[in-house]
Structure 1
Amino acid sequence: MRLFLSFVGLLFAVAAAFADAKKPNLVVMMTDDQRFDFLSCAGHPFLKTPNIDRIAKEGAHFKNAFVTNALCAPSRATLMTGLYSHGNGVLDNMGTKLREDVPWMPDLLRANGYEVGFVGKSHVPGHFRQKTWDYYFGFTGQGQYAKPVIAETGPDGKIGPDKAYDGWIDDVTTDHAINWMKKDRGDKPFCLFLFFKTPHRQWVPPARHKETYKDAVVKKPALWDDPGQGKPRAFLQAANMFGQYPDVHNYDEMIRDYCRCLTAVDDNVGKVLAALDAMKVADDTMVMYTSDNGFFLGEWQRFDKRFMHDVSIRVPMLVRHPKSVKAGQTPTGMVLNVDIAPTLLNFAGVPYPNTMHGRSMTELIAEPKATDNVKPWRDSWYYEYHEFPDASHNVNKHRGVRTEQYKFIHYYDPPFKFAQEFELYDLKADPEERTNLANRPKFKPVVDEMKAKLEKLRAEVGAK
Structure 2
Amino acid sequence: MRRYLSVAVFAVCAFPVRAADKPNIIVMMTDDQRHDFMSCAGHPFIKTPNMDRIAKEGYRYTNAFVTNALCAPSRASLLTGQYSHANGVRDNMGTKLNPDSPWLPDELRKQGYEVAFCGKSHVPGHFREKTWDYYFGFQGQGNYLRPVIAESGADGKIGPDKPYDGWIDDVVTDKALEWVKKGQEKSKGQKPFALFLFFKAPHRAWQPAPRHKDLYADAVVKKPALWEDAGTGKPRAFLQAANMIGQYPDTKDYDGMIRDYCRCLTGVDDNVGKVLKALDDLKIADDTAVMYTSDNGFFLGEWQRFDKRFMHEPSIRVPLLVKLPKVIQRHYRPIGMKLDPMVLNVDIAPTVLDLAGVAPPKAMHGRSVLPFAQLTPAGPLPPHMVPREAWYYEYFEFPDVSHNVNKHRGIRTPKWKFIHYYEPPFKFREEFELYDLEKDPEERVNLANRPAFQATVKELQAKMESLRKEIGSKDEK
Q: What band does the TM-score fall into relative to the shorter chain? A: over 0.9
Residue 395 of structure 2 is matched in structure 1 by 385
Once the two structures are TM-superposed, the CA of residue 413 in structure 1 deviates from its matched residue by 1.4
Once the two structures are superposed, residues 42-61 of structure 1 have per-residue CA deviations (whole angstroms, 9 ceiling, x without a partner) of 00000000011000000010
State the shift of 1:370 in Å.
Answer: 6.4
Encode CA deviations 1:422-448: one digit per residue, 9 max, x unaligned.
Answer: 000000000000000000111111111
Match of 2:195 in 1: 192
Q: Note if contact 2:72-2:91 (Cα within 8 Å) is conserved in structure 1.
A: yes
Equivalent AA in structure 2 for residue 335 of structure 1: V
TM-score, normalized by length of structure 1?
0.95
Question: In structure 1, what is the equivalent of residue 3 of structure 2?
Answer: none
Answering whether residue 410 of structure 2 is matched by residue 411 of structure 1, we say no
Give the alignment of 1:133-144 within 5 angstroms: 133-144=132-143
Q: What CA distance in whole angstroms lies between the structure 2 residues aligned with 1:300 and 1:416?
A: 23
State the one-letter code of the partner of 1:69. N
Matched length? 456
Query: How far apart are 1:155 and its partner, in Å?
Result: 2.2
For 2:179 and 2:313, locate their aligned partners in 1 and report how far apart those are by CA, in whole Å.
36
* Structure 2 SS opposite 1:30: strand
The answer for the alignment partner of 2:336 in structure 1 is: 328
- Give 1:11 deviation, angstroms: 8.6
Query: Residue 109 of structure 2 corresponds to which residue in structure 1?
Result: 110
Q: Which amino acid aligns with 2:316?
A: I
Does the Cα contact within 8 Å between 1:10 and 1:373 map onto a contact in 2?
A: no
Deviation at 1:373, TM superposition (A): 3.8
Say if 2:46 is the partner of 1:47: yes
Partner of 1:205: 208
| 2:4 match | none
* Residue 17 of structure 1, CA deviation: 13
Shift of 1:15: 11
1:420 correspondence with 2:424: no
Q: Which runs of 5+ in 2 are unaligned?
A: 1-7
Q: Could you list the per-position Cα deviations for residues 299-335 of structure 1 after superposition, in whole angstroms to 9, with x for gaps in the alignment?
A: 0000000000010000000000133244112110000
CA–CA distance in structure 1, aligned partners of residues 391 and 448 of structure 2: 19
Matched, 1:257 2:260: yes
Classify 1:16/1:84 alpha carbon distance in 2 versus 1 (closer, same or farther; 3 Å). Answer: farther
Task: Compare 258-267 and 407-416 and name the one that shifted more.
Answer: 407-416
In the alignment, is residue 230 of structure 1 matched against residue 239 of structure 2? Answer: no
Structure 1 segments, 4+ long, off by >3 Å, are: 9-12, 14-21, 368-373
User: Which residue in 2 is equivalent to 1:3?
Assistant: none
Matches of 1:365 and 1:141, distance apart in 2:
36
Mean CA deviation greater in 246-255 or 185-194: 185-194
Distance 2:400 2:362 in 1: 34
Q: Once the two structures are aligned, what percentage of the paired residues are identical?
A: 69
**Residues 328-355 of structure 1, C-alpha deviations (whole Å, 9 max, x = no match):** 1211000000000000000010211122
Counterpart-to-counterpart distance in 2, 1:418 and 1:180: 56
In structure 2, distance between residues paired with 1:147 and 1:435: 46
**Bigger relative contact order, structure 1 or 2, given CA contacts below 8 A and separation 6+?**
1
Other structure's SS at 1:56 match: helix
SS at match of 1:330: strand
| 1:202 Cα offset (Å) | 0.4
Q: 1:29-428 to 2 correspondence within 5 Å? A: 29-183=28-182, 184-186=185-187, 187-321=190-324, 322-325=326-329, 326-368=334-376, 373-375=382-384, 376-417=386-427, 419-428=429-438
Deviations 1:27-73 (A, max 9, x none): 00100000000000000000000011000000010010000000000
TM-score (norm 2): 0.93
- Aligned partners of 2:439 and 2:450: how far apart in 1? 16
Counterpart of 2:23 in structure 1 is 24
Offset, 1:366: 2.1
1:13 aligned residue: 12
Do the aligned residues in 2 keep the contact of 1:333 with 1:378 (CA within 8 Å)? yes
1:157 deviates by 1.4
Alignment correspondent of 1:443: 453
Q: In 1, Cα distance between the equivalents of 2:13 and 2:217?
A: 49
Letter in 2 for 1:74: P
1:126 Cα deviation (Å)? 0.2
Give the conservation status (yes or no) of the 8 Å contact 1:122–1:128. Answer: yes
Q: Is the 8 A contact 2:19 2:113 kept in 1?
A: no
Whether the 8 Å contact between 1:79 and 1:340 is mirrored in structure 2 is yes
Match of 1:4 in 2: none
| Aligned-pair Cα RMSD in Å | 2.0
How many Å apart are 1:414 and its aligned residue?
A: 1.5
Letter in 2 for 1:41: C
**1:19–1:348 CA contact under 8 A, matched in 2:** no
What secondary structure sits across from 2:21 in the alignment?
coil
Task: Report the alpha carbon displacement of residue 369 of structure 1 after superposing the two structures with TM.
Answer: 5.0
Q: Give the Cα–Cα distance (whole angstroms) in 2 for the partners of residues 260 and 250 of structure 1.
A: 15
Partner-residue secondary structure (3-state), 2:318: coil
CA spacing shift, 1:14–1:311, aligned 2, 3 Å = farther
Classify the secondary structure of the residue corresponding to 1:75.
helix
